[in-house]
Amino acid sequence: MSQVVFSPNHCGPDLGDDVSFDVPDEALFSAETQQAAFERLRGWADRLDASTITYPRVDLRLGCANARIAHEAFVPFHARARDLAEVDIRLIEELGSIAAALLFAQRRVDLVAPKAALAPRLSRARTLRFILLHQAWAAAGAGLLPEKTVERIAKGSGAIDAAEDLVALAALFDQHKAVLCNRSVVDEAMLQEAARLGSELQTELKPAALPVRKPTEKDERAEAIELRNRFFTLLLLAHKETKRVADFLGVGDRIPSLQSRKALKKKTSNPPATAEG
């Protein structure tokens, strides 16, 4: 494979094009095609040298649509390209599939939401603890809950204690739900929220005295972003190689830049209607 060196400005938008431009869905690939390409080419993307990975600074939908146009335009010349020396034919032949895989990789990034901020969740935890604890005290006063258990839960303060109290209160209400039925403002949805939120906060909050452990696995969002960047790097390499070989064969004008709006407008625009005589 010949070494490919590309400029970070290679995918810059064509000057003079409209500022706003929407890529129609029909110019891209179906969801099934995207996923199949992603799964088939993922190993290739994973094997890229980490030092070569490039972060996208372009419109990915526009870039992938133009990569599809370039791939389809150069298919008739694949046989001639195979006969040339110093050509990475796989990059050329997989250009369209790489673009499809990149779209799916971006969808994975979009679907992985960053972890919710801690402050508002702690605020909600304290509100739930207040409601549940006061209901527990009232129920204990009426002889419906064990007073010593409620007293033990009420002791302590701080974020970690609030998280532990939520789990304990949810368990207490669940254990005595038969006698508490129709006697409390605490419903099943509130108990489920308390148990879930308390459990989540217990795993996230650490006592200040404990050392911070390094995570054993990459953050899911970081992993998705890295893989997206790897597919984008593959797209740059494939497009660069296709354009280089197309120029050598004298058909470089058929390969649009990844950020060209002109090629896409020409391909997706409908011809004007003509009057029939």
Distance of alpha carbon 242 from alpha carbon 237, whole angstroms: 9
- List the alpha helices (DSSP H) in the chain: 31-46, 60-74, 78-82, 89-93, 95-111, 118-141, 147-154, 159-175, 177-180, 188-204, 220-248, 262-268
What is the mean pLDDT of each successive set of 10 residues along the chain, which is 277 residues long? 33 37 80 94 96 84 93 96 94 96 91 72 91 93 92 86 89 88 84 86 66 55 90 96 96 92 64 40
Domain ranges of the chain: 25-114+219-268, 118-204
Residue 177 pLDDT = 86
For residues 64-73, one letter each, b for 16 or more C-beta atoms within 10 angstroms of the residue's C-beta and e for the rest, the string is: bbbbbbbbeb
Residue 273 pLDDT = 44
Distance of alpha carbon 254 from alpha carbon 71, whole angstroms: 10
Q: How many CB atoms lie within 10 A of CB 260?
A: 21
Residue 227 pLDDT = 95
CB 207 within 8 A of CB 163: no
CB 229 within 8 A of CB 56: yes
Distance of alpha carbon 44 from alpha carbon 238, whole angstroms: 13
CA angle 244, 248, 252 (to 5 degrees): 65
Q: Token digits for 21?
A: 């431009």
**pTM, rounded to two decimals:** 0.56
Residue 3 pLDDT = 34
Residue 15 pLDDT = 32
Residue 219 pLDDT = 76
Alpha carbon of residue 1 to chain centroid: 31
Distance of alpha carbon 80 from alpha carbon 96, whole angstroms: 18
Q: How far is CA 192 from CA 165, 220, 242, in A?
A: 14, 25, 56
Alpha carbon of residue 116 to chain centroid: 15
Cα Rg of the chain (Å, integer): 29
Distance of alpha carbon 245 from alpha carbon 239, whole angstroms: 10
